[in-house]
Each structure stands twice: as structure tokens, then as C-alpha cells.
């Protein structure tokens, strides 16, 4: 199993497939790098080197009790990039992983980055505050924490339905897609998943987005029930200088799976541009 060890002793699992220009992938909560397999295999087949890691506390990485926050996540991404000596890389992040990419650029700059892609990403900030009145009330996230603590298995099964929009009329989501969401989620540590809710909902990324100085693509489903588009992608695209934004009508949060072919083509065209 391929791992790197960070400065605080955390083991981070990663995949490193293919050869060519580098593309990194940061996954959503509470999943693992396996959630990117549909994009990684596609890009390998088109001549790219793809790297994805399991966030600390998720998948096959250490279930550490420290640094389960965006600074810690961003520093772990930096550790992977530096250990593999990736240069001119395209950083791709989904949901919480989009926050990870934003905080990476905010803390580590773009000296190793050629482009960035934010997919259904959490920036600029999810929770409702005086400065962000359109955000989701803190009670939404408190209820997630309570449900996770009380019965995480059932919570993940219920969350999968909203994640992929399976509760919408006419939706066609296979049981296999819902089952793999549950399987990947159950691999995350309870402590880590619990603390990550605060990280993805309460972290303010405004300063990070202002530091983006590379071509950036923002993708989001217009029917995202997890990270509402009006308070995330639309605002982020305005805050990132020169960002290109694309919205999928009627699409859910999990567009990497439900719109895999369309998203892969969009991703490839952007990387090649």
C-alpha cells in the first residue's frame, strides 16, 4: 500500500496511476480517493498521471485525533504533492475536497499548480453568519453530527439518497452507486467524520479564493441538495479572478458519478485548454 508520512506522523494513503501531466484529486466527505476512480481511469487513458489520496481519518489513511481541519487537510495535500514532486499539476476537488484545494492555494501558493477545478465545492463558506445570511443554519450541521453519532450506518444510507438526488422524480441511480457510497463512508473514522463537519461547513475560504492566480473551472449541479449552488459555486466564481463556471441543470451533488461522462469530457477539455 502506497503511503507518505506527514510531519505529525500521520500516514496518508495515495494512488498514483499513469504517466504524463499531473492531475491531483481531493475527495468529498466522508468518502475516499476511490470516489474518483471514474475520473482517474478516464484521464489515464488520455495520457495523464493521476494522483489521489485518502484524507486523514478517511479510507486507508490514519484515523488521527489531530488536525481534522482545513489547514491540516491542505497541508496533507501539500505533503503528497511534495513527496511525489508534482509540478504544473491540475488540482481537482469535490465538495470538501474543493475546500481542501482552496486552502492549499491559500496556504501553499501555486508554484506547483497549473490549474484548479472546484466541483460541487463548499467554498466560500456554507454556514449562515451575519456576513453570509444566505448560508445554511448551524442547526443543519448540528443535526448531521447527532445523526452521525447515533447511527452512522443509517445516516450514511440516508445521505447517499440526497447526495445523488435519488429522491427526485425520474431519478435513475443504481443500488450499486448508493451501496458504494455507504461502503466508502463507513471506512472513515467516527471522530474524523464528526470533526470534519465543522471543517467543511464553518471554514471561511474568502481569503483563499482571492489568492487563486491560475485558470480555474467551477462545476456545480443546479439541484445540489448538499451544497446549494446559490451559496457556493456562484459566489466562488465571482471571487476567483477569471474563473469559468458551468452549471448542470437538475444535477445533484454527486455529479462525478451521475454525470460522469459529461464531467469527464468537461475536465479533459479544460486540462487540455
Q: Active-site residue 158, yes or no?
A: no
Q: Active-site residue 88, yes or no?
A: no
- Identify the domain containing residue 90 by its residue range: 3-272
| Selection from 176, 7, 247, 205 nearest residue 105 by Cα | 205
pLDDT, tens digit (0-9, with 9 covering 90-100), for 221-258: 999 999 999 999 999 999 999 999 999 999 999 999 99
Q: Which of 53, 94, 220, 253 is catalytic?
A: 253
Q: What is the DSSP string of 67-135?
A: --SHHHHHHHHHHHHHHTT--SEEEEEETHHHHHHHHHHHHH-STTEEEEEEES---S--B--SS-TTS
Q: What is the DSSP string of 185-239?
A: HHTS-HHHHHHHHHHHHH---HHHHHT--S-EEEEEETT-SSS-GGGTHHHHHHH
Q: Active-site residue 224, yes or no?
A: yes
Query: pLDDT value at position 116?
Result: 98
Q: For residue 76, give the C-alpha cell.
A: 496533507
The C-alpha atoms of residue 52 and residue 59 are separated, in whole angstroms, by 12
Question: Total structural domains in the chain?
Answer: 1
Query: pLDDT value at position 1?
Result: 84
The residue ranges of the chain whose pLDDT is under 50 are none
End-to-end CA distance of the chain: 34
Mean pLDDT, the chain, integer = 97
The C-alpha atoms of residue 134 and residue 244 are separated, in whole angstroms, by 23
For the domain that residue 264 is a member of, what is the CATH number?
3.40.50.1820
Query: pLDDT value at position 137?
Result: 97
Q: Which of 54, 224, 232, 236 is catalytic?
A: 224
Q: Which of 32, 33, 62, 95 is catalytic?
A: 95
**What length does the chain have?**
273
Amino acid at each position: 500500500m502506497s503511503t507518505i508520512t506527514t510531519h505529525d506522523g500521520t500516514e496518508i494513503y495515495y494512488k498514483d496511476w499513469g504517466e504524463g501531466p499531473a492531475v491531483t484529486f481531493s475527495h468529498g466527505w466522508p468518502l475516499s480517493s476511490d470516489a474518483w476512480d471514474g475520473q482517474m481511469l478516464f484521464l489515464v487513458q488520455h495520457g495523464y498521471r493521476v494522483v489521489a489520496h485518502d484524507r486523514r481519518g478517511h479510507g486507508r489513511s490514519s484515523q488521527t485525533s489531530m488536525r481534522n481541519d482545513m489547514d491540516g487537510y491542505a497541508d496533507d495535500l501539500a505533503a503528497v504533492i511534495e513527496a511525489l514532486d508534482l509540478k504544473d499539476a491540475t488540482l481537482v476537488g469535490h465538495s470538501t475536497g474543493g475546500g481542501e484545494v482552496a486552502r492549499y492555494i491559500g496556504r501553499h501558493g501555486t508554484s506547483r499548480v497549473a490549474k484548479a477545478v472546484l466541483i460541487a465545492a463548499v467554498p466560500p463558506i456554507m454556514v449562515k453568519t451575519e456576513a453570509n445570511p444566505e448560508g445554511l443554519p448551524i442547526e443543519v450541521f448540528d443535526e448531521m453530527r447527532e445523526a452521525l453519532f447515533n447511527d452512522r450506518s443509517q445516516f450514511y444510507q440516508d445521505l447517499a439518497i440526497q447526495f445523488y438526488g435519488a429522491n427526485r422524480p425520474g431519478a435513475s441511480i443504481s443500488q450499486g452507486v448508493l451501496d458504494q457510497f455507504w461502503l466508502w463512508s463507513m471506512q472513515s473514522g467516527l471522530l474524523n467524520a464528526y470533526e470534519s463537519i465543522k471543517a467543511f461547513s464553518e471554514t471561511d475560504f474568502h481569503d483563499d479564493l482571492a489568492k487563486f492566480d491560475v485558470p480555474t473551472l467551477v462545476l456545480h449541479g443546479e439541484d445540489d441538495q448538499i451544497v446549494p449552488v446559490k451559496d457556493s459555486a456562484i459566489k466562488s466564481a465571482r471571487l476567483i479572478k477569471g474563473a469559468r463556471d458551468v452549471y448542470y441543470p437538475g444535477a445533484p451533488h454527486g455529479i462525478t458519478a451521475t454525470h460522469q461522462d459529461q464531467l469527464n469530457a468537461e475536465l479533459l477539455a479544460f486540462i487540455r485548454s
